[in-house]
A and B are shown apart, each in its own frame.
Chain A
């Protein structure tokens, strides 16, 4: 069945905004029964105020050390972002994940274990420069309790909902989705990142099956 993907442009969403009100204002008139509303992970995090100035983070010795082993293109190569993750996930967990990932990388030649073991925030955090202005000056953590957010969207608007982390590198990750969401379909659609990764300001996407 063909699918229509409708990116919805919004105003600049800030921590002062209520996510459900933003959805109501910009998607309310467009939503139809059977639609799936997909919210960008970063926007959900911003409405939850999950923003940290690097100046307000004091990296410890573990963050300073471990960040040096992470590829420079990754958010966690910054000791500030890594310390922010440690503050949420626990230093012990992140250090243990690092040591374990060194072993699996060397002996099993397996990549990505650090992100799998260090907790959700390790994979979701965006370092400065990683988000559209004015949040390019902040470390943006992943959203809290995404399952509750999608449930609240479904209850209010009567449609299926999902929170997706997608980028222009062809990677997409569903953080949470209501029961009726076809996750395989969403992953296929969001590998192309229809919401864009720059300053398109389209953090909401409506996925609609057409006949």
Chain B
């Protein structure tokens, strides 16, 4: 009997110690930090009737463990009936020296406290209305970023939202030059 009690006590203590160890290790906390967006540029190209939005979004891990960002998708939030004629292409990629500009998101290990810059590019066109009409009706377009993180404690799907101010156009350098030439 005393052997059984001692065995159960040992097993219980060991299980509790392992559970405590598992709990204190923590988990990843990888986020697309949309509050810290940098270099937001909104360009209007009247010739192509296109609005191009670009910005840099930090991808950071504020957790205790590393995680892997395995899949990332971005898509616009519905913005009313005008969306019927809109063509929106969004693409997010990690900023690196030899970046592939093909839309493929390569699985990425994000270690504890690591930070990567990602570049979001959104191209918006409308097949029947011009840019000024479009931005009057849709002054802001929200993009949602869904991303899958494979961590050491499971798989999580997370979401980040980023409102793009379509109104605040900045004339790009190349369009500016064109105007001067004309």
Interface residues of A, Cβ cutoff 8 Å to B: 54-55, 59, 64-65, 67-68, 72, 77-80, 127-129, 133-134, 136-137
Contact = CB atoms under 8 A, between A and B. Distances in A.
Given A54-B150, A54-B155, A64-B22, A128 B68 contact: yes
Top 10 nearest A-B pairs (CB, nearest first) are A129-B107, A136-B107, A128-B107, A72-B66, A54-B150, A129-B109, A129-B68, A133-B106, A136-B106, A68-B25
Given A64-B153, A68-B25, 5 more contacts: A54-B150, A59-B154, A68-B21, A127-B68, A128-B68
Contacts of B68: 78, 127-129
Nearest to B150: A54
Interface of B: 18, 21-22, 25, 65-66, 68, 70-71, 104, 106-109, 111, 150, 152-155
A45 B66 CA distance: 27
Contacts of B107: 128-129, 136-137
B152 A67 contact: yes
A22 B21 CA distance: 48
B72 to A, nearest CB: 11
B70 A65 contact: no
Contacts of B104: 133-134
Nearest to B100: A133
Contacts of A127: 68
Nearest to A129: B107
Contacts of B109: 129
A128 B70 CA distance: 8
Nearest to B71: A137
A78 to B, nearest CB: 6
A59 B150 CA distance: 12
Given A68-B25, A133-B106, A136-B107, A54 B70 contact: yes
Contact of A65 (B18, B65, B71, B150): B18
12 contacts: A54-B150, A54-B155, A55-B155, A65-B22, A67-B152, A68-B152, A80-B150, A127-B68, A128-B150, A129-B107, A129-B109, A133-B106
A137 B106 CA distance: 8
B111 A78 contact: no
B152 A78 contact: yes
Contacts of B153: 64, 79
Nearest to A138: B107
A79 B152 CA distance: 6
Contacts of A67: 152
